[in-house]
Amino acid sequence: MTPDDFYTPDRLSGPSRVPQHGEPLFEFRHGLDRYQCELRDHSEPYGVEAQFWKNEEFVYSRRFDARLDRTPTPRELAIAVAEEERTGIEAE
Domain assignment of residue 64, yes or no: yes
Residue 46's domain spans which residues?
A: 22-91
The whole-number pLDDT of residue 36 equals 96
CA 62 to chain centre: 7
Answer yes or no: are the C-beta atoms of 53 and 59 closer than 8 Å. Answer: yes
Answer yes or no: are the C-beta atoms of 50 and 39 closer than 8 Å. Answer: yes
CA 69 to chain centre: 19
The whole-number pLDDT of residue 14 equals 76
The whole-number pLDDT of residue 52 equals 96
Give the residue among 29, 22, 84, 70 at the shortest CA–CA distance from 50: 22
Answer yes or no: are the C-beta atoms of 87 and 81 closer than 8 Å. Answer: no
The whole-number pLDDT of residue 20 equals 73
User: β-strands 33-41, 57-64: how paired?
Assistant: unpaired
Domain assignment of residue 3, yes or no: no
Q: What is the pLDDT along the chain (92 residues), one digit of tens a residue?
A: 566 666 777 777 778 777 777 899 999 999 999 999 999 998 888 889 999 999 999 999 999 988 866 788 889 999 999 999 999 999 98
Rg over alpha carbons for the chain, rounded to the nearest Å, is 19
Collect all residues with Cβ–Cβ distance below 8 Å to 27 and sequence separation of at least 6.
Answer: 34, 35, 36, 37
Domain assignment of residue 10, yes or no: no
Domain assignment of residue 82, yes or no: yes
Question: What is the number of structural domains in the chain?
Answer: 1
The whole-number pLDDT of residue 15 equals 80
Domain assignment of residue 17, yes or no: no
